[in-house]
Chain A
Amino acid sequence: MTVGKDVSALFPDVVNCMQTDNLELKKLVYLYLMNYAKSQPDMAIMAVNTFVKDCEDPNPLIRALAVRTMGCIRVDKITEYLCEPLRKCLKDEDPYVRKTAAVCVAKLHDINAQLVEDQGFLDTLKDLISDSNPMVVANAVAALSEIAESHPSSNLLDLNPQSINKLLTALNECTEWGQIFILDCLANYMPKDDREAQSICERVTPRLSHANSAVVLSAVKVLMKFMEMLSKDLDYYGTLLKKLAPPLVTLLSAEPELQYVALRNINLIVQKRPEILKHEMKVFFVKYNDPIYVKLEKLDIMIRLASQANIAQVLAELKEYATEVDVDFVRKAVRAIGRCAIKVEQSAERCVSTLLDLIQTKVNYVVQEAIVVIKDIFRKYPNKYESVIATLCENLDSLDEPEARAAMIWIVGEYAERIDNADELLESFLEGFHDESTQVQLQLLTAIVKLFLKKPTETQELVQQVLSLATQDSDNPDLRDRGYIYWRLLSTDPVAAKEVVLAEKPLISEETDLIEPTLLDELICYIGTLASVYHKPPSAFVEGSRGVVHKSLPPRTGSSESAESPEAAPSAGQAAEQPAVIPAQGDLLGDLLNLDLGPPVSGPPLAASSVQMGAVDLLGGGLDSLMGDESEGLRSDVGGSPAVWLPAMKAKGLEISGTFSRQVDSISMDLVLTNKALQVMSDFAIQFNRNSFGLAPAAPLQVHAPLAPNQSVEISLPLNTVGSVMKMDPLNNLQVAVKNNIDVFYFSTLYPLHILFVEDGKMERQMFLATWKDIPNENEAQFQIKDCSLNADAVSSKLQGSNIFTIAKRNVEGQDMLYQSLKLTNGIWVLAELRIQPSNPSFTLSLKCRAPEVSQYVYQAYDAILKN
């Protein structure tokens, strides 16, 4: 606007014009401020007064203008003054001001997130979702979505059936843009069950008739996502599938740029649900006046939709395309013919003959493309179409692109025995060996070795020549290494060489160009957005923290709401969870604490820090009684260190402490029996009550000698899980009866769940994916593991020690995601996703299991293992 000149020198003069009554002039002054305030922050302060005044102007347009502009001035000193006017404007009587203020909160958050939180603007913004004016609702939703994106863990967009209902109502009334904001937000919601999903779908479907393509695509996104939850037998599921097709086709009559966006998305949709568009092949036929980017995309989709039923039509089209003008398009069309051959077996023959026809045209790039795809066809259908090799060889001289040359050389090498003059052909390539690209060189080396293995007598010289070229004259390490390997192979064991080089190759399949399923699922969640245009997850092209939130199908983004991180576990648990470094010290501590035997001491063994011990000593029984109340809940957290299960007071002088442990395939209960009475104890026996996992002693309790007063004995009692089962509450509660010559004593204890994790708990990768999807979302639970400073590898090896197996590891934008599985003795599988951020000591654990009640205990096991 200023023709590139810096006019910041005029700042004071311009600011003087601010108080004008002329709205146009005011707008221009504001525009000036937005552009130059940053370079003159001190002077910008002069404008604050006017802004504040304008925020109280009787004219709502001016109020909104002032608050909108203030948000755009990114000068700290100004933002401070913005808070009060913004607060007022958020509650303004005029909807125009409110909707502007809603967006302004997002602006402010971008400048100073802390300030927004401190000032409580987020709550006000949440209230605006219930506003009476649809546009205010839409802007509030947009602002909240954006803020929530930069705080993935926060519970900002607290979507629940009531708020969803409000959004759906506003959806019918607001502007096209507002509808997009709301639909995009809805797509992040996680319906509780299929019924809710269906009712949302029903209310979203009318949007498919909207004239704005973005509204349509966003609606498609919501439907595609929620469809995951609907059962396929449902009538409604079929209806929905049918309803999706026409709007998608209609998108193709929009402007070319939108067609492009639509086609990129359709490409994803046909991969996810091919049934939607399987009858609509014809609409993807290329039109004369389509821009090239639309043509190329259509071609891609045609191949995806190609099937036995429509292959004839597709081929006829592709053949036409191969005679078009645009080189890229022609190339792609030729490739597409090859892909059809690989995809639809019945059509292979026709495809090959079409390709031969095209080769006859002698158009250079067509011939080259055709040869590249014929190579693939040979690999898919070996020993079927080799008769065409002669035709291919005729065109040898016209090949000038590396890919085509490499393909041709591969063919010659692979079928050397059928080509009489194979050695001559290859020799001709060898002449210019050093001028070829690496791809061709490698292929030539391999082809000549193949030839040698097939016709050893005539080609000895040739193979020596190529090996010396590759190993001695080449600077390319790949080529050199391959050369040496062949050389060694050939010189040491030609038979082995034959087995290696001429081994049967795996068949190629059509799936090679499909998007990987997990990525596809993620991209489906991003329909309509840039991610779906690039076919890349947002993290691949978005900087910073935005877009890091990982989305996937079946939708799991909602888990952040269901995340009941066990904050309930008292903070005292932290202390209790700290493992005793040396068990002996724990015993010592236990002894110390138990000296007086005042109140029942069953406190957890504390970490042996001198400070704590001192404190314990000082407080004596007082602390013990304090902790005694809580100790019940804490015991279960203790994995490795013995806890007192049965205090001497309650058992006529017999004190039992113990732990559970698991060695390979066996569970044991390690007990310490201490006689604190004055008489000798003997005739020990033990029995378990029925429990959740059928734990039972595998052998009788054997105490060989009678236990003298003040003597203790350590016993390891082997356990099995074949006992009778009864569900306990808590799940890991175990009721034990111990008998001696004096009496029978009862106590209960909580065992850590990880003793039940079996060795064969490693799930197949595919199986894992399938199971993860299969388990309904409400079975997912999310927890935080705090204060753990291990890195992903350490975590994974540590967990592996307790039979929690890491199946896959992924790094998403600096975070490590571990996917793990474990199996309980009774055959329950638990799937876990552990998210580790390098900078953050707390990990996020998501658990999925068909029996969700175990999740809590698995989490405790995780926690105990990681902190041990």
Chain B
Amino acid sequence: MIGGLFIYNHKGEVLISRVYRDDIGRNAVDAFRVNVIHARQQVRSPVTNIARTSFFHVKRSNIWLAAVTKQNVNAAMVFEFLYKMCDVMTAYFGKISEENIKNNFVLIYELLDEILDFGYPQNSETGALKTFITQQGIKSQTKEEQSQITSQVTGQIGWRREGIKYRRNELFLDVLESVNLLMSPQGQVLSAHVSGRVVMKSYLSGMPECKFGMNDKIVIEKQGKGTADETGKSGKQSIAIDDCTFHQCVRLSKFDSERSISFIPPDGEFELMRYRTTKDIILPFRVIPLVREVGRTKLEVKVVIKSNFKPSLLAQKIEVRIPTPLNTSGVQVICMKGKAKYKASENAIVWKIKRMAGMKESQISAEIELLPTNDKKKWARPPISMNFEVPFAPSGLKVRYLKVFEPKLNYSDHDVIKWSSSTFREHLPGPSTQIDRPCGSSGSRLSCLCSVTTHAATEVQNQGTSTIKLLFCWCLTTCIIS
């Protein structure tokens, strides 16, 4: 199991050091600094073995978190724990920075004491931790309160405490999708998949039992068997989900047997599920980059984007980011629509368009002046990336319902479920710097990443007294890239 945990700043100074096991000596702290942080060559693995001691590290901004062990531990668990540790710290004091860590010494040690015992991760749900690890100190607790805390920390529903009360019960739902697209130089799609996340913010009283439904093909087909007429109609609407993973509040065995997603949500924001689809992905935009090298010191870039959805729909907040070579000295941009600017600090041209209707086209052209360099270091040619909001989801995912059931409290009419949906990001290969490719499609390959967020808020009709049912059929946003 984990033998010790260290936190370093970017200089390699130890900020936090907590040793759990006797086999980890004091010199382990220095070993990591010398061999990893100050290593001459960048370390090429997140796991390093130095003198039979294994170090796992993750880096958050310029802070290093390292877990140390001498045993054959579960490596996946250690990394999961380090991420969790970051989450917990962020939940307590915001961004993980040297200053924040220094200001929260006592708190961090207290947390480390609680979530890791003898190197075994214990309950690490922020919700539960916050009930008894506070920065104010626990004062007078009644006996009931104490036993409530302990039963929650160890109980089956460790992520939610009892007795939460809100005047207004609210629930927010976000679907974030990112499309990964890989294309051959000829423009043929090699592989495309959408990885999506359903993020929920819940502000609900009591112990609400939620049920979440989406247009999952397997479920729809199952239901379709009963009513044969509907199958034809719903067949198009359903999507085939390759795989999904759930927050630990979801009852997995129930999903395995009935494919229904039921859970008692934690309080506040959490990621309910992640999913992956590969079939029938709608790509809302096409991006066509043209790069031409004029001599050794000049580069001409032209990027065309085409929206590829129904003209009645509208894409918003489009942002295209075109990376430029490191030795750029100046850029002149001309664009038909929106605003474009060269940002030297980010080594990119940022092109923003407020809104764009479907089946339209827009283009930008730029002249990039290069400093002559004899720098042999090649430019990695990062992809062009794109962010936008569109009112449908690339994967075709739709939320069918979200039922909330609270056995004790009856939610009132004011209760609201709010939808927010998606944002898109996409990456395209950057302009080529090689002369042997005079024009035409720049890179030979394209990889794109899109993520979608749309926002919509709806009041929810309250049916009956204790169940909130969502009748609003909600759409997402997408993009196409080529």
Contacts and interface: CB of A to CB of B under 8 A. Distances in A.
Interface stretch (B72-80, B218-226, B399-407): B72-80
B311 interface: no
Contact of A531 (B72, B141, B149, B255): B72
B44 interface: yes
A250 B245 contact: yes
A530 B45 contact: no
B377 to A, nearest CB: 8
B293 to A, nearest CB: 16
Nearest to B242: A246
A532 B58 CA distance: 19
B441 interface: no
Interface string B241-259: 0111111100111011000
A532 to B, nearest CB: 7
A177 B121 contact: yes
Nearest to B123: A175
Nearest to B82: A257
Contact of A214 (B76, B191, B244, B245): B76
Interface stretch (B109-117, B227-235, B355-363, B474-482): B109-117
B74 A180 contact: yes
Given A253-B276, A288-B382, A547 B72 contact: yes
Contact of A217 (B1, B76, B82, B124): B76
B439 interface: no
Q: Size class of A's contact patch?
A: 35 or more
B74 A28 contact: no
Contacts of A216: 76, 245
B118 A543 contact: no
B242 A249 contact: yes
Q: Choose among A175, A313, A546 the residue with the greatest number of B CB atoms under 10 Å from its CB.
A: A175
Interface in A130-146: 133-136, 139, 142, 146
Contacts of B75: 261, 528-530, 532-533
Q: Choose among B22, B46, B109 the residue with the greatest number of A CB atoms under 10 Å from its CB.
A: B46
Interface in B168-214: 180, 182, 184, 190-191, 193, 195
Interface residues of B, number: 92
A96 B129 CA distance: 13
A316 B154 contact: no
B288 interface: no
Contacts of A546: 71-72
A541 B54 contact: yes
Nearest to A361: B436
B153 interface: yes
B52 A543 contact: yes
Interface string A88-112: 0000001111011001101100100
Contacts of B16: 1
Interface in A527-560: 528-534, 538, 541-543, 546-547
Given A175-B158, A261-B76, A313-B190, A211 B248 contact: yes
B259 to A, nearest CB: 10
B49 A541 contact: yes
A142 B140 CA distance: 34
Contacts of B253: 172, 203, 206
Given A110-B22, A288-B382, A541-B49, A27 B110 contact: yes
B255 A288 contact: no
A68 B117 CA distance: 8
Nearest to A220: B76
A287 interface: yes
Given A94-B150, A282-B191, A530 B72 contact: yes
Interface in B16-60: 16-17, 20-23, 44-47, 49, 52, 54, 56, 58
B306 interface: no
A103 B151 contact: no
Nearest to A135: B154
Contacts of A247: 243, 245
Contacts of B56: 257
Contacts of B408: none
A551 B379 CA distance: 48
Given A61-B132, A261-B75, A211 B274 contact: yes
Interface in A277-332: 282-283, 285, 287-289, 292-293, 296, 313, 316, 320, 324-325, 328
A206 B52 contact: no
A393 B163 CA distance: 80
Interface string A26-38: 0110010000000
The interface residues of chain A, by DSSP majority, are classed as helix
A674 interface: no
Interface in A206-249: 206-207, 209-214, 216-218, 246-247, 249
B92 interface: no
A532 B75 CA distance: 9
Contact of B120 (A24, A58, A177, A257): A177
Nearest to B108: A1
Contacts of A71: 118
A255 B256 contact: no
Contact of A60 (B74, B150, B193, B429): B150
Given A99-B154, A532-B75, A320 B245 contact: no
Nearest to B182: A285
Contacts of B103: none
Given A31-B113, A175-B123, A260-B46, A134 B72 contact: no
Contacts of A257: 46, 56, 58, 79, 82
B138 interface: yes
A61 B149 contact: yes
Given A206-B255, A285-B191, A288-B427, A213 B76 contact: yes
Nearest to B128: A175
B447 A288 contact: yes
Q: Choose among B132, B149, B252, B447 the residue with the greatest number of A CB atoms under 10 Å from its CB.
A: B252
B292 interface: no
Contacts of B23: 543
Given A1-B16, A68-B117, A94-B147, A260 B248 contact: no
A148 interface: no
B155 interface: yes
A623 interface: no
A181 interface: yes
A1 B248 contact: no
Contacts of A246: 242-243, 276
A365 to B, nearest CB: 12
Contact of A210 (B121, B180, B252): B252
B252 A172 contact: yes
A613 to B, nearest CB: 54
Given A61-B149, A99-B154, A287 B180 contact: yes
30 contacts: A1-B105, A61-B146, A71-B118, A96-B149, A97-B150, A103-B117, A106-B118, A175-B248, A177-B121, A177-B122, A180-B74, A180-B77, A203-B253, A205-B256, A206-B255, A206-B256, A209-B255, A211-B273, A211-B274, A216-B76, A249-B243, A249-B276, A250-B274, A257-B79, A282-B191, A292-B44, A316-B184, A325-B378, A530-B54, A538-B71
**Across the A-B interface, the 9 shortest Cβ-Cβ residue pairs:** A246-B243, A96-B150, A214-B76, A206-B256, A214-B77, A538-B72, A282-B191, A206-B252, A177-B121
Interface of B: 1, 16-17, 20-23, 44-47, 49, 52, 54, 56, 58, 69-77, 79-83, 105-106, 109-110, 113, 117-118, 120-125, 132, 137-138, 141, 143, 146-147, 149-151, 153-156, 158, 180, 182, 184, 190-191, 193, 195, 242-248, 251-253, 255-256, 271, 273-274, 276, 377-380, 382-383, 427, 429, 444-445, 447
Interface of A: 1, 22-24, 27-28, 31, 58-61, 64, 68, 71-72, 74, 94-97, 99-100, 103-104, 106-107, 110, 133-136, 139, 142, 146, 172-177, 180-181, 184, 203, 205-207, 209-214, 216-218, 246-247, 249-250, 253, 255-258, 260-262, 282-283, 285, 287-289, 292-293, 296, 313, 316, 320, 324-325, 328, 526, 528-534, 538, 541-543, 546-547
